[in-house]
Chain A
Amino acid sequence: MRPFTYERATSAQDAAAKAAAMPGARFIAGGTNLLDLMKLEIETPGHLIDVNGLGMDQIVETPEGGLRIGALVRNTDLAADRRVRKDYGVLTRALVAGASGQLRNKATTAGNLLQRTRCPYFYDVNMPCNKRKPGSGCGAIGGFSRQLGVIGTSEACIATHPSDMAVAMRVLDASVETMRPDGTTRAIPIAEFHKLPGQTPQTETALEKGELIISVALPKPTGGTHIYRKVRDRASYAFALVSVAAVIGRDGKGAVALGGVAPKPWRVEEADALLSKGAQAVSDRLFADATPREDNAFKIMLAKRTIASVIAEAKG
Chain B
Amino acid sequence: MTQGCGAISRRDVLKTSAAGAAIAGSLGTGSVALAQADASAPPTAAVRMKVNGKQTSLTLDTRTTLLDTLREHLKLTGTKKGCDHGQCGACTVIVNGRRINSCLTLAVMHEGDEVTTIEGLGTVGDLHPMQAAFVEHDGYQCGYCTPGQICSAVAVLEEIRAGIPSHVTEDIGAAPGMTTLEMRERMSGNICRCGAYSNIAEAMAQVAGVEA
Give residues in A with beta carbon < 8 Å to B: 1-6, 8, 28, 30-32, 35-36, 39, 41, 48, 50, 52, 76, 79-80, 85-86, 89, 92-93, 96-97, 99-103, 105-106, 125, 235-237
Contacts and interface: CB of A to CB of B under 8 A. Distances in A.
6 contacts: A3-B35, A32-B101, A35-B106, A41-B1, A106-B105, A236-B185
B43 A41 contact: no
B163 interface: yes
B104 A32 contact: yes
Contacts of A125: 1
Interface stretch (B136-144, B164-172, B200-208): B164-172
B165 A92 contact: yes
B189 A237 contact: yes
A93 B185 CA distance: 14
Report which residue of B32, B169, B189 has the largest number of chain A beta carbons within 10 angstroms of its beta carbon.
Answer: B189
B192 interface: no
Contacts of B155: 101
A149 to B, nearest CB: 23
Interface in B174-197: 185-186, 188-190
B23 to A, nearest CB: 11
Interface stretch (B6-14, B50-58, B69-77, B92-100): B92-100
Interface in B126-180: 152, 155-156, 159, 162-167, 169, 172-173
Interface residues of B, number: 48
B173 A86 contact: yes
B15 interface: no
A237 to B, nearest CB: 4
B189 A1 contact: no
B100 A105 contact: yes
A30 B103 CA distance: 12
B117 interface: no
Contact of B43 (A4, A8, A32, A103): A4
Nearest to B169: A96
A3 B42 contact: yes
B78 to A, nearest CB: 17
Contacts of B1: 41, 125
B172 A89 contact: yes
Contacts of B159: 76, 101
A235 B166 CA distance: 13
A31 B99 contact: no
B85 A1 contact: no
B172 A92 contact: yes
Nearest to B148: A102
A86 to B, nearest CB: 6
A36 B85 contact: yes
A3 B89 contact: no
B31 A101 contact: no
Contacts of B86: 32, 36, 100, 102-103
B212 interface: no
B32 A1 contact: yes
Nearest to A86: B173
A93 to B, nearest CB: 7
B31 A31 contact: no
Given A5-B62, A96-B169, 16 more contacts: A2-B31, A4-B62, A5-B43, A6-B45, A31-B105, A50-B109, A80-B162, A80-B164, A80-B165, A85-B165, A101-B99, A101-B152, A101-B166, A102-B99, A103-B101, A237-B188
